Amino acid sequence: MTDYRIRPFETVGELKECVRLQEETWGLGFSERVPPAILKVSQILGGVAAGAYSADGTLTGFVFGMTGLRDGEVVHWSDMLAVRAEARDAGLGARLKAYQREAVLGRGVTKMHWTFDPLQSRNAYLNFAKLGIVVREYVRDMYGETDSPLHRGIGTDRFIALWLLDHERVIGRLRGDDGSPLPGPALEAPSALGVTDSGGSHPAPGPPRGDLDTPWVRVAIPADVSAIMNASMDLALDWRLATREVLTRYLDRGYEVRELLRGDRVSHYLLHSDRLNAAT
pLDDT number for residue 200: 77
Average the pLDDT over each of 77-86, 115-124, 179-188, 230-239 and give the range with the smallest value.
179-188
Mean pLDDT (the chain, rounded):
92
Mean pLDDT of 73-92: 92
277 pLDDT higher than 60: no
- pLDDT bracket for residue 150 (50, 70, 90): low
- pLDDT bracket for residue 198 (50, 70, 90): low
240/233 Cα distance (integer angstroms): 10
Beta bridge partners of 78: 65
Mean pLDDT of 109-113: 98
278 pLDDT higher than 50: no
CB atoms within 10 A of CB 44: 7
pTM of the model: 0.90
Mean pLDDT of 156-183: 93
- pLDDT bracket for residue 210 (50, 70, 90): very high
pLDDT number for residue 101: 97
Identify which has the larger pLDDT, 88 or 265: 265
pLDDT number for residue 144: 83
Average the pLDDT over each of 56-65, 90-99, 110-119, 219-228 and give the range with the smallest value.
90-99
pLDDT number for residue 190: 97
193 pLDDT higher than 80: yes
pLDDT number for residue 90: 83
Mean pLDDT of 5-29: 95
Judge whether 67 and 46 are in contact, CB under 8 Å.
yes
Average the pLDDT over each of 32-36, 89-93, 195-199, 255-259 and give the range with the smallest value.
195-199
Of 123, 8, 109, give the one whose Cα is nearest residue 62. Answer: 8
pLDDT number for residue 280: 43
pLDDT number for residue 181: 86
- pLDDT bracket for residue 143 (50, 70, 90): confident
- pLDDT bracket for residue 189 (50, 70, 90): very high
Mean pLDDT of 48-60: 96
Of 111, 38, 32, give the one whose Cα is nearest residue 76. Answer: 111
pLDDT number for residue 279: 42
pLDDT number for residue 91: 86
